[in-house]
Amino acid sequence: MSSYLELTARERLARLFDTGSFEEFLPPAARVISPHLAQLDAPVSFDDGVAVGRAVLDGVPVFCAAQEGGFMGGAVGEVHGAKLTGMLRRAVAERASAVVLLLESGGVRLHEANAGLIAVSEVMRAVLDTRAAGIPVVALVGGSNGCFGGMGIVARCANAVVMSEEGRLAMSGPEVIETASGVEEFDSRDRALVWRTTGGKHRYLMGDCQFIAADDVARFRQGAVDAIAASRTAGVELSLAALETEQSLLGERIARFGECTDPLDTWTALGIADAKAVPMMDADSFAATAATHRLGGPQ
Amino acid sequence: METLVYQFEGGSRGLPAQPQVVGVVGSGNLEVLIEAVPLAGACSIEIKTAAVGFGATWEAVMRDFHERWQLKNARIAINDMGATPAVVSLRLDQAVETILGGAA
């Protein structure tokens, strides 16, 4: 067993895909760095915090990217976003079999202001264009920085999301919510609450992620393979019917759980007998428990 | 930010062509990019560091590194976010071991 959480972006690429198969576009030696950070006299990284390229997954050639959470929390700057967008466009141009995104990001890199915001929106558009070309895009979320802000949206633009319990996925991060709405609304220092609310188990029960994996590279690899296969079965291109189904699911969530003040209440409302036991379950027993209760149907 | 450049002569160990990067630009950490470049036998090291004013320490750590590995025609570029000298030395060793294909 090898923890996915603890690996760097490059280590994940090396171990998740078939051995030695990752071929990088714009590698660090190309030195395509952020022009904005240098102006701010801030440290840069030779890959601007993301590695993009192609690799082989279980014998199948795919395109891929991995964000490095250790560099500025995986935040998306202009170059970082352009690398993701460029990889996705190339996946379409070269009729790739699938795209696997190893996401770990706090969202847009605010140092880069509008350039960063535009870059994230271009990534979203490119993900949807890739799906429109019939190429499944799957997102893996299991890094310690989670997947927040614009990259949280990107993850949910993908065909499927694979998460570990340790992974977190949301729009606004815990500290943002506390700052905006007060500690009574959300205590960002309550780690158990943060993981109950944004962690993989809650996301899986709510239908926001479609696959739950133990924090293990081999499990994430299998999750990516399964997610690509399931995406083909479900239909790769985002359709109006799928959007309307999603919208009604969200409406049902508000109707059913709008009065809940803690995910524990939500899980009880879903029919889980001992909701308090959920955070302590290992991934396999959790998946077995969740199977008959989760929203969004079985996978 | 401060930029420091060092060049060492007299090395004997050449490097494979495939560049390598190790480490991450995070707090107390650094990334090291190592490449084989024709430099008339020299080993060139360029450091961009967030910790200003530690030139003498960097020079000592780089001199030790060159004595350990004796690289020639090597270009090393470092982006540093306040790593300690011990971490810098370990990353440099990791970079050389990785490009040479050893156990990193």
CATH of residue B91: 3.30.230
> Per-residue pLDDT tens for A259-295?
999 999 999 999 999 999 999 999 999 999 999 999 9
The structural domain count of chain B equals 1
β partners of residue B35:
B75
Mean per-residue pLDDT, A146-163: 98
Q: Tell me, what's the pLDDT at B64?
A: 98
pLDDT at residue A298 greater than cutoff 80:
no
Supply the pTM of this predicted model: 0.96
Residue of B nearest to A10 (CA): B22
Pairing of strands A50-57, A60-67: antiparallel
**Nearest CA-CA partner of A279 in A225, A204, A222:** A204
**What pLDDT shows up at residue A296?**
78
Chain B hits for A31, CB-CB cut-off 8 Å, are: 77
- What percentage of chain B reaches a pLDDT higher than 90? 97
CB atoms within 10 A of CB B46: 15
Q: Would the pLDDT of A297 be above 90?
A: no
Q: Where are chain A's structural domains?
A: 9-169+209-237
pLDDT of residue B102: 58
Which 8-state DSSP code applies to residue A77?
-
* pLDDT score, position A221: 98
Q: What's the mean pLDDT in A202-213?
A: 96
The overall average pLDDT reported for chain A is 96
Q: Is A48 on the interface with B (CB under 8 A)?
A: no
Q: Tell me which long-range contacts A268-275 makes (C-beta under 8 A, separation of at least 24).
A: A270/A205, A270/A294, A270/A295, A272/A205
CA-nearest residue to B51 within chain A is A43
Laid out side by side, the sheet with B74-80 consists of B2-8, B43-49, B74-80, B30-36, B20-23
Mean pLDDT computed over A35-63: 97
Banded model confidence at residue A299, pLDDT cuts 50, 70, 90: very low
Name the H helices within A8-137. 9-16, 35-39, 78-93, 113-132
Average pLDDT, chain B: 96
Contact between chains at A43 and B48 (C-beta distance less than 8 A): yes
Topology of the domain covering A9-169+209-237: 2-enoyl-CoA Hydratase; Chain A, domain 1 (3.90.226)
Chain A CA closest to residue B21: A28
Determine the average pLDDT of the residues in A90-111: 97
pLDDT at position A194 over 70: yes
pLDDT of residue A1: 74
Q: CB count, 10 Å around CB of A221?
A: 22
Domain that holds residue B67: 2-100
Average pLDDT over residues A33-49: 96
The answer to whether A225 and A58 are in contact (CB under 8 A) is yes
The mean pLDDT value for B77-90 works out to 97
**Any CB–CB contact under 8 A between A70 and chain B?**
yes
Share of chain A above pLDDT 90, in %: 97
The DSSP line for A87-119 is HHHHHHHTT-S-EEEEE-B-SB-GGGHHHHHHH
- The per-residue pLDDT for B104 is 39
